[in-house]
Amino acid sequence: MTVYRIALIGFGGVNRALAELIAAKNQLWERDLGFRLNIVAVSDLYFGSVISPNGLDAKTLVEANFAKGGFGQLSGGSSEADNETIIKNAPADIIVEATFTNPKDGEPAVSHCRWALQTGKHVVTTNKGPVAFAAQELKALAKANGVGFEYEGSVMSGTPVIRMAEKTLAAAEVNGFEGILNGTSNFVLGRMEGGLDFASAVKEAQQLGYAEADPTADVEGFDVRLKVVILANELLGANLKPEDVTCKGISNLSPADIEAAAKAHSRWKLIGSAVRSDDGRVACSVSPKQLSLDHPLAGVNGATNAVSLNTELLGSVTITGPGAGRIETAYALLSDIVAIHNAHSSVTAKEAA
């Protein structure tokens, strides 16, 4: 049985949810998956940082009501975050990166991943920034150092669109996609169909926890643009940066636009799309589109995400599932750890043979 020592970078909703799962399901994973997880370090801007080579009790981490700088009360702890020291020096096998996404350059998360890979540690992340801005560099670092770099949760939270497309549709010849890749904007459009104006719909989304205090990244399409870059590069062999993708959000849609669409038996959706032409070039965009009601994405409501993959052999294949949520996103991290475990086990078995 394998024990993976993990360091959590960021202890907000997602990594806290992963700690909850570890506290509740480690024995189940040991039985069904062949490994268990041991948290040996945590670093967080609010709580500080702590290293414990023998492991930290996951249940205590989750249930203790730490104040600001509260990790300083723990043995081996400090009231200050120290991401670089934790990543480089903690006795961890896997760095779990779940800090905020910077839509301008992906930092500091890009550096977090780079430090980990350079020091021979696996990386799993839900952060869109490192994947959208530096995936090629980070993949090369991972390969050079014999470790894994996994990021399933960077596009649709726990819904496995990347791994699904690469593993199960490998021979179907994916040549494009279009998707609803932001639950906040989708919720806002749904509430506008229900009669609210844009500002009121955004306010309701904030009250329900779907939208941040500053909803710009969601409603102006910047979040979707990062996800489009990730999918285009990963599935279509593109080499795009976020600035290569045209981007328009939903803030200019009026109640009149929504009403006109309904009369035309259609509805507005914020769509991220990409298509690969015969010469290999990939064109991408993010913009509101008026979809007929029989379109496979037209019925995707609320905070749900969906992507329709256009394939040569199967036609359109649509994957629908949760695009957000603490536990759902923590599951994506777990699925990445499973992928690393399976790859490591396969290599070990080959070496033994």
Residues with a catalytic annotation lie at 227
Q: Using alpha carbons, select from 75, 81, 74 the residue that is nearest to residue 12.
A: 81
Number of helical H runs and strand E runs in the chain: 13, 13
What's the CA gap between 70 and 85, in Å, rounded? 18
| CA angle (152, 155, 160) in 5-degree steps | 45
CA 82 to chain centroid: 23
CB-facing half-sphere around the CA of 279: CA atoms within 13 A: 2
Q: Is residue 274 within 8 Å of 177, Cβ to Cβ? A: yes
Per DSSP, the residues of 126-147 read --HHHHHHHHHHHHHHHHHTT-
- C-alpha distances in Å from residue 253, one per residue of 63, 175, 242, 250, 322: 43, 30, 23, 6, 25
DSSP bridge partners of 5: 38
What are the φ and ψ backbone dihedral angles of 219, each rounded to 5 degrees? -80, -20
What's the CA gap between 212 and 41, in Å, rounded? 28
What's the CA gap between 72 and 49, in Å, rounded? 7
- C-alpha distances in Å from residue 320, one per residue of 53, 304, 317: 40, 7, 10
